């Protein structure tokens, strides 16, 4: 029983450290994050929120940044898995980059997938961990587009809804 209580106390202490780390990121970042519940309206806000959420292990905030429109249950699970895999990992850098003009050429030629919103940028998160077997640092790349006034993480979704004919 005592071991169980100690384990719970250790987990809680870890959460507080993560929250403190996120608070430090926000303070050092100059307060560029959007208000809670609001979507980021600048690229800098998106980068800051993404980094803070990863460091704080805040899956809910990460999920709020994603545009889930058109995503199937399987796509949602796969993306959530990718988001979870970055939670709490040390980060070397988070940068906003232009998205290549021909970035969707291959999937558009197949005609089975499409982005769920116009994509103009991508965010590259490089984790501060040993290089992978190919000599590159572990990295996650997120597609970024603007939906209304907000910057969101875009997804690649099927061109047809599940159950539609493929004629």
Name the residue ranges covered by the structural domains of the chain: 2-158
| pLDDT at position 5 over 80 | no
Residue of 148, 100, 124 whose CA lies nearest to 47: 124
| pLDDT at position 30 over 80 | no
Please write the tens of the pLDDT for every residue from 32-53. Answer: 344 556 899 999 999 999 999 9
Please write the tens of the pLDDT for every residue from 73-122. Answer: 999 999 999 999 999 999 999 999 999 989 999 988 999 999 999 999 99
SS3 state at 151:
strand
Which residue in this structure is represented by tokens 């997804």? 155
Q: What is the structure's pLDDT at 23?
A: 29
How buried is residue 29: exposed, middle or buried, by Cβ count under 10 Å (0-12/13-18/19+)? Answer: middle
Q: How far apart are CA 21 and CA 130, in angstroms?
A: 22
Q: How confident is the model at residue 17 (pLDDT cuts 50, 70, 90)?
A: very low
User: DSSP letter string over 73-120?
Assistant: HHHHHHHHHHHHHHTT--EEEEEEEEPPTTTTHHHHHHTSEEESS---
| pLDDT at position 65 over 90 | yes
| pLDDT at position 22 over 50 | no
Please write the tens of the pLDDT for every residue from 112-147. Answer: 999 999 999 999 999 999 999 999 999 999 999 999
| pLDDT at position 20 over 50 | no
| Strand 150-154 relative to strand 113-115, pairing | unpaired
Q: How far apart are CA 37 and CA 52, in angstroms?
A: 14
Q: Specify the pTM.
A: 0.73
Pick the more confident residue, 46 or 11: 46
Q: How far apart are CA 109 and CA 56, in angstroms?
A: 39
Residue of 139, 144, 102 whose CA lies nearest to 123: 144
């Amino acid at each position: 029983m005592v071991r169980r209580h100690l384990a719970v106390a250790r987990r809680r202490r870890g959460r507080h450290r993560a929250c403190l780390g996120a608070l430090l990121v926000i303070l050092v970042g100059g307060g560029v994050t959007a208000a809670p519940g609001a979507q980021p309206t600048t690229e800098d806000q998106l980068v800051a929120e993404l980094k803070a959420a990863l460091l704080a292990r805040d899956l809910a905030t990460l999920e709020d940044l994603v545009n889930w429109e058109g995503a199937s249950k399987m796509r949602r699970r796969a993306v959530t898995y990718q988001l979870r895999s970055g939670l709490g990992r040390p980060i070397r850098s988070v940068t906003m980059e232009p998205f290549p003009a021909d970035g969707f050429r291959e999937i558009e030629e197949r005609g089975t997938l499409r982005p769920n919103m116009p994509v103009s940028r991508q965010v590259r998160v490089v984790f501060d961990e040993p290089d992978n077997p190919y000599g590159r640092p572990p990295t996650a790349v997120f597609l970024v587009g603007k939906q209304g006034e907000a910057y969101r993480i875009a997804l690649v979704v099927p061109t047809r809804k599940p159950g539609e004919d493929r004629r």
